[in-house]
Structure 1
Amino acid sequence: MMMIELLKPDYIFESSWEVCNKVGGIYTVLSTRAKTLQDAFPDKIFFIGPDVWSGKENPLFSEDENCLKDWCAYARESDGLKIRVGRWNIPGSPITILVDFTPFYAQKNDIYGQAWCDFQVDSLHAYGDYDEASMFAYAAGKVVESFYRHCLSKKDRVVYHANEWMTGLGALYLRKHVPEIATIFTTHATSIGRSIAGNNKPLYDYLFAYNGDQMAGELNMQSKHSIEKQTAHHVDCFTTVSEITNNECRELLDKSADVVLMNGFEDDFVPKGNTFVARRKKARQAMLNLANKLLGTKLTDETLIVGTSGRYEFKNKGINVYLESLNRLTRDKNLKRDVLAFINVPGWVGDPREDLIARLKSKEQFTTPLEVPFITHWLHNMNHDQVLDMLKYLNMSNAPESKVKVIFVPCYLDGNDGIWNMHYYDLILGYDLSVYPSYYEPWGYTPLESIAFHVPTVTTDLAGFGLWVNSLKGRFSELADGVKVIHRTDYNYSEVADVIKDTVSDFSALSAAEIKKIRKNAAAIAEKALWKHFIQYYYEAYDIALRNAEKRLAL
C-alpha cells in the first residue's frame, strides 16, 4: 500500500492567551512543544500572545528590535498594530509576537456584529473575560493577515493554529479575510463541559442526553460556547487533547475532532544522576523542615511524602476526594509510615506567615504547633476556603498522635513564595507519591510531570492522561506500573476515596527495592509521552488543514 506523504506548512502561526503568559496548563503544552517545532521549522513558527505585560518587565519574553524589522515597521505604520517582537525565553527560543489588543475595544460592537453576520457567533450574552479574550483573538488575526500580505504569497503553505475559545475569533477572521491560510482550532476543554462538571451536574452518565446549546443557556455560558462551537465547525481542522474530551466535543459541540493532539512533555529540565539525588534530598529536607516547624513535630526522612497540585477546582481536580482519603487514612491500621500530605494549590493568597518564617529561620526544635497548623500563607478568605472548610468538617487536627499530617500551600511555587522560595519542579521530585483523582481533566499534566520526576502517581480514568496510560497497558494501570489509574464515575466518590487510602497504605509497606522498581516504571511511562513521540499528530493536523484549505480554494 502506497503511503501518501503529509503536506507540510512553510509557515506556522500559533496563538494562545498563554504565550509568554504563564497562567495554566496550556502554557506547558506550548512551551514544552516549542523546541520540537522550532527544530523542524526553524524560525518559521511564530507564537502570538497578548501583551498584558505592557510597561512591565516580562521575564518570559526578550524583545529584539531587529527581528522581523521590515514587517514590524509596516504593521505599525500601515496597519496600526501595536506589537512587540522577540523571543520566548523557553527551550528553542521561538520568535514571538506580543500584541496590544486594547485599541480594538473601540470597535468591539462592530467586530461582534460582523462575527454574528459571518458565522453566527453570539456575543450578546458576553461577560467577564469574554471581551478581553475576543479582542486579543481579533488582534492576533490582524497580525497574521498583516504578515501574510507583506511577507508571503499564495505559493506559501501557511497554517494558523488557535488554542482554546479565547482565540476563536481570530481563526474565523482569517477564514473570511485570508482564506489561503489553513486554520486549526484546539479546544483543551469544552467550556460547557467544564461548566457542567463545575456546577455539580453529572457530566458523564448524562453526556449523551445533554444539548450543548441548551446547557449554555441554562448555565449562562452562551457566548463562550458559541465562539467555541462555531470555530470548531468552520476551521479546516478541529482538534482536542484526549478521547474523553472528544466525547464532549461530539455531544456538546456537535462536532468530533479531526485529530486528537495528546499533550506531550520534555524531560530536559529533569536532573540526572547525582544531581537528581542531591535535589531530591534537598526537596525532602525543605518539606520536612517546614512541617516540623509548623507542627512542632519530629518527622524524619522515613516519612511518606504525598502531594497534589494544580488549579483550585475543588471538585473537578479531586481535591475533595483527596482530603476524604487522607481522613480515612488516619484510621487505617495497615499504615506503616507517617504520612505528610501537601496540597500545592494556589488560592486567594495573602501574606506568608511571619510566625512560620521566624521559626524557619530559627535553629530551635519546636514541640508545639503554630496557630492554624494547616497552612503556610494567610488567605484573604480564611473563613470561606474550601480546603480549610473541609479539614474542619472532617475534624482533621494534625494532632501529634495522628500518623497523617496535611499542609495547604496556597500559592504559586515560582521561587518567590516567601516560605520555601523554591520552584514547583524543585519540590515535586521530593514526593514519594502524588495523587490527582480528577473528576474533570481533559488531559492531566500534573500526573505526567510527576512521573517525569520518577514519582509514581495516582490518577483516574476521567483524565485523558489516565485513559492514555490504560491504553498503553491494555488494562487498568496499577501502582506497580508507576501509575495507578482508578475507575471514577459521577457517583463513586466514596469508593475512589477508599482506593486512594488503600494505595497510600499499600505503598507505605513496600520495600526500598519495590519502590525503586515502581519509580523506574513511572519514568518509563513518562518517556513514552515525550514530544518526539506525540508531535506526529500535529503533522497530521497540519496535513488535514492544508488539504481542506486547498479544497476550499478550488471551489
Structure 2
Amino acid sequence: MEKTAVLDTHNHILTEVAWEVCNQVGGIYTVIRSKAPVMVKKWGDNYFLIGPYIAKEASTDFEESDLDHPVVNEALKVCRDNGLDIKSGHWLVSGRPQTLLFNHKAMFHELGNIKYYYWQHHAIDFKKHDPLMDEVLAFGYMVHIFLSELTRAALNHKLKPLAHFHEWMAGSAIPDLRRDQVPLQTVFTTHATLLGRYLAMNDPQFYDHLPFLDWNKEANHFNIEANVKLERACVHGAHVFTTVSEVTGKECFHLLGRNPDLILPNGLNIERFSVLHEVQNLHHEYKQQLEQFIMGHFFKSYSFDLNKTMYFFTSGRFEFSNKGYDLTLEALARLNHRLNKANSPLTVVMFFITKQPVHSINPEVLNARAMLDKINNNCDAIVDQIKNKLYRQAAASKGDHKLPNLNVMVDDYWRLRHRRTIQSWKSDELPPVVTHNLVDDANDQILNFLRKSNLVNKKEDNVKIVYHPDFISSTNPLFGMEYDDFVRACHLGIFPSYYEPWGYTPIECLARGVAAVTSDLSGFGDYLKNVPIADEAHGLYLVKRAERSFDEAAEDLTDLMWRFIQISGRDRIDMRNKSEDLSEAFDWKNLYSAYEKSYKMALKTLF
C-alpha cells in the first residue's frame, strides 16, 4: 500500500479563522482551543489564528506582543498603515498559538460600502438591521484585506498560503477572496447549518422532511435569508468544503447545495483531562462535595440513603427538543414508575444544567444550604468540645478505662443551639425542583413537563429533579465546585440529542471517567460506528432515534438507564477506567490527520 505523503508545513503558512478565537461563544471555541497544541506542534511558526477583538475576553485570555514571522509582519504593516486595527500576540491557552485579533468595530464606518458591494457582487441584500451581521461583515472586510496582503507576502517568500474558515460568521471574506482571484487556498468548515438549527427546533420530523425542503422559502420564513445566502456563498466559494459528521453532511447537501468533500470529526486535548488513574478517587472526593448540596436541598423535607443514590445530569444550551431534554424527561418519568413498581431502594437525582433568564437564586434554596452549613459548624464545635473533655478524662482516669457517656460532655448551650438550628431548617414542604426564580416560570418547558407528569420531588418518587438554570462554578453559592468537578461527581451524563452536528459533552464525560449517553442523530454518535470499543462496557450508551418514533426512543432510553443502575459498584469502577481508554480515540493527536488531508486537497487545486 502506498504511504500517504506528509504535508511539508515548512513550505506553507496556515491561518485558521474563527469567531470563537479568544472568544467563548459555543462549541467551536472548544474545537479551536483544544486543537491548538497539536496545530502548533505540527506547523510551528507557520500557524496563526485570526479572530475578532472582544475587549473583555482579550483582557484575560490574550497577551499582546510583536510576532517574529516576516510574512505576517509584512502584511500587518501594510494593513496597519491603511488604518486597520489588528492586535498581535498569543492566546493564553495550551500551545500558546500566535494570534491576530481584528478590531472589527473600528470598521463600522465602512458598513454602507461593504453591504453595497456584497449586494452588487454576490446578490445578497443586508437591508434588514442585524447588529451581529454588522459585526460579521466588518470582520470579514478586515480578514479579506489582511489575507490578500498575507498571500502577496507569502508568495514573495516562496511560501504557499492556506486559510481555514470555521462557520459563516468567520467565512464572510471567502466570496470576495474568490472574486478577486486571490491565490489563497481555502477550506471552509460548517459545524452546523444555520437553517438546520432553526428547522430542527420547529419540526419534530425534520430529518424525514429534509429532502423535500425549499431552503430559500424556509430561510424567508425564519427571516434569515441574508444569513443563509452568506453561508451558501462561503460553502460554494471555498476550494474544499468540510463538515464535522456524516449526519451534518446530509443536511449540508439539502440546505446548502454542496456535498462535503471531507468529514473533520472534532476531538479533545485528552492530556488536559488526564488524572493518571486517579479517576475513582476523584469521583469519590467530588461526590462527597455534591452530597453537601443534596442534603441541603432535600434533607430538610425528607431523607434517603446516599449510599444508594446515583447522580445523572445533562447540560448545554436550552434547546428543549434539539438537545433531547424532552426525551430525557419522558424517560425519567418512566424510570420513576419502574422503580416505584419494583419497590427499589435506589434514588436517582437528575440535574438539568442549562442557562436560562433568571431573577435570582431561590431564597429557600439558598437558605436551606446556609442552614446546613450552620449545622455543620455546630457539629464541629460539639466535636471539639467532646474531644477536649474526653482527652482530659482519659489522661486523668485511674482504674476504669471504659468510654464515658459522651452526651454529658456537651454543654447545654450547644445542645440547645444544635436542636434549634435543626428545627428551623426542617420543613414539610417539597424540595424545590428549580434552584432559581425564572423570568418566565409559567412557560418554561422543563417545568411544565414536570408539572404535568407530577414529577415534583415527592418523597415517594425514586427519581428526583434539580433544575439549575445557570452555570456551575466554584463561586456558585449552592455547589461551591467547578463544573469539571461536578461532572466527575456524577455517574451518568445524558445527551440524547435530536439535532446535534457533533456534541462535545459525551466525550468530555468519558474523558473524566463518567459514562455517557448519546444518540445516533448526533455527529458524535454517528462517528462511533468507526470506533470498535465504543460500547457500554466502556461507558458509552447509544439511544437509537433515527427513523424511530419519540415513544420508541423514550422507551429505549428508559431501558438504558434501567440497565445502568443495575451495574454493581465494582463494575462501575471498571467502567470508569475503560471510559478514559475510549476517550483516547478522540484525542487530536489521532484526529488531526483529517485536517491535514483537507489541506492537501486544497493545495491540489493550486493554480
TM-score (norm 2): 0.84
Deviations 1:309-346 (A, max 9, x none): 11111110001111111112211134552101111111
Matched residue SS, 1:41: helix
CA contact (8 A) 2:362 2:435 kept: yes
User: In the alignment, is the contact (CA less than 8 A) between 1:441 and 1:463 conserved in 2?
Assistant: yes
Give SS of 1:169's match: coil
Cα deviations by residue, 1:198-252 (Å, 9 ceiling, x for unpaired): 1125221122212322322233221121111111111111110000000011111
Aligned to 2:486: 427
2:376 equivalent to 1:373: no
Residue 402 in structure 1 maps to residue 461 in structure 2 = yes
Structure-2 change in CA distance of 1:66 and 1:481 (3 Å): closer
Distance 2:337 2:357 in 1: 31
Greater Cα offset, 13-22 or 126-135: 126-135
Secondary structure at the counterpart of residue 12 of structure 1: strand
1:127-206 correspondence to structure 2 within 5 Å: 127=130, 129-149=132-152, 153=156, 155-177=158-180, 179-206=182-209
Residue of structure 2 in register with 1:520 after alignment: 577
**2:337 aligned to 331, 339, 354, which one?**
331
For residue 129 of structure 1, give the secondary structure of its aligned residue in structure 2.
Answer: helix
Q: Is the 8 A contact 2:519 2:542 kept in 1?
A: yes
Post-superposition offset of 1:193: 1.1
Query: Partner of 1:217 in structure 2?
Result: 220
Quote the offset at 1:483 in angstroms: 1.2
Higher mean Cα deviation, 454-463 or 138-147?
138-147
- Contact in 2 for aligned 1:336/1:508 (Cα 8 Å): no
Q: 2:561 aligns with which of 492, 497, 504?
A: 504
Aligned to 2:415: none
Q: Are residues 110 and 8 of structure 1, via their aligned partners in 2, closer, same or farther at CA, if it must alter by over 3 Å?
A: farther
Match of 1:543 in 2: 600
Residue 51 of structure 1 is matched in structure 2 by 53
Displacement of 1:433 after TM fit? 1.0
* CA displacement, residues 141-199 of structure 1 (integer Å, 9 cap, x when unaligned): 33333444456637211111111111121222333346221111100011111111011
User: Structure 2 CA distance, aligned partners of 1:128 and 1:301?
Assistant: 52
Larger radius of gyration: 2
Deviations 1:291-318 (A, max 9, x none): 2212234341431110111111111000
Rate the CA distance shift 1:257–1:471 in 2: closer, same or farther, 3 A: same
Q: What do the CA deviations read for 1:336-394 (whole angstroms, capped 9, x no partner)? A: 52101111111113433444334334243654377771223333333332222222222
* Aligned CA distance change for structure 1 residues 119 and 224 (closer, same or farther; 3 Å): same
1:2 Cα deviation from its structure 2 partner = 4.2
For 2:321 and 2:312, the matched residues in 1 are separated by 19
Residue type of the alignment partner of 2:190: T
**Are the equivalent residues in 1 in contact too, given 2:274–2:511 (CA < 8 A)?**
no
Q: Kindly provide the amino acid, as one letter, of the partner of residue 348 in structure 2.
A: V
Stretches of structure 2 lacking an aligned partner (at least 5 in a row): 376-421
Percent sequence identity over matched residues?
29
CA shift, 1:398, in A, is 0.5
- Distance in structure 1 (CA, Å) of the matches to 2:199 and 2:590: 33
Q: Is the 8 Å Cα contact of residues 433 and 467 (structure 2) preserved in structure 1? A: yes
The verdict on how the C-alpha distance between 1:402 and 1:2 changes in structure 2, with shifts beyond 3 A counting, is closer
Equivalence for 1:228: 231
Shift of 1:40: 0.7
Structure-2 change in CA distance of 1:540 and 1:375 (3 Å): same
Which residue identity is paired with 2:335? L
Residues 252-331 of structure 1 mapped to structure 2, 5 A cutoff: 252-273=255-276, 275-295=278-298, 296=300, 297-299=302-304, 300-331=306-337
The match for 2:518 among 455, 459, 463 is: 459
- Using a 3 Å threshold, how does the CA distance of structure 1 residues 470 and 220 change in structure 2: closer, same or farther? same
Compared with structure 1, are the counterparts of its residues 514 and 73 closer, same or farther at alpha carbon in structure 2 (3 Å cutoff)?
A: closer
Do 1:189 and 1:442's aligned partners in 2 also have CA atoms closer than 8 Å?
yes
Q: For residue 61 of structure 1, what is the aligned residue in structure 2?
A: 62
Cα separation, partners in 2 of 1:507 and 1:3, compared to 1, 3 Å: closer
Q: Deviations over 1:254-275 (max 9, x none)?
A: 1011110000112222242475
Alignment pair present for 1:41 and 2:43: yes
SS in structure 1 of the partner of residue 272 of structure 2: coil
Whether 1:471 and 2:471 are equivalent positions in the alignment is no
1:101 aligns with 2:104: yes
Contact 1:122–1:226, Cα closer than 8 Å, also in 2? no
- Secondary structure, aligned partner of 1:223: helix
**AA aligned opposite 1:224:** N
When residues 77 and 433 of structure 1 are mapped into structure 2, their CA distance, relative to the original with a 3 A threshold, is: closer
Aligned-partner SS, 1:532: helix
Q: CA deviation at 1:125?
A: 5.0
Query: Displacement, 1:84?
Result: 1.7
Q: Could you tell me how far 1:520 is from its partner in structure 2?
A: 3.4
The offset of 1:72, in angstroms, is 8.4
Query: Which residue of 202, 208, 221 corresponds with 2:211?
Result: 208
Q: CA RMSD in A?
A: 2.6
Q: Deviations over 1:47-78 (max 9, x none)?
A: 11111225x76322222256669558725641
Quote the offset at 1:513 in angstroms.
Answer: 2.9
Partner SS, residue 96 of structure 2: coil
Gaps of 5+ in 1: none
2:35 maps to amino acid: R
Q: Distance in 2 between matches of 1:356 and 1:221?
A: 41
Would the alpha carbon gap of residues 281 and 24 (structure 1) be closer, same or farther in structure 2, given more than 3 Å must change?
same
Q: Relative to total residues, which structure has the larger helix share, 1 or 2?
A: 2
The whole-number CA distance in structure 2 between the counterparts of 1:8 and 1:119 is 35
The CA distance in 1 between the partners of 2:78 and 2:278, in whole Å, is 47
In structure 2, what is the Cα distance between the partners aligned to 1:100 and 1:77?
11
Q: Is 1:416 paired with 2:475?
A: yes
Map of 1:2-17 to 2, 5 A cutoff?
A: 2-3=2-3, 5=5, 7-9=7-9, 10-17=12-19
Is this contact kept in 2: 1:8–1:542, CA < 8 A? Answer: no
Aligned: 1:356 with 2:358: no
2:353 pairs with 1:344: yes
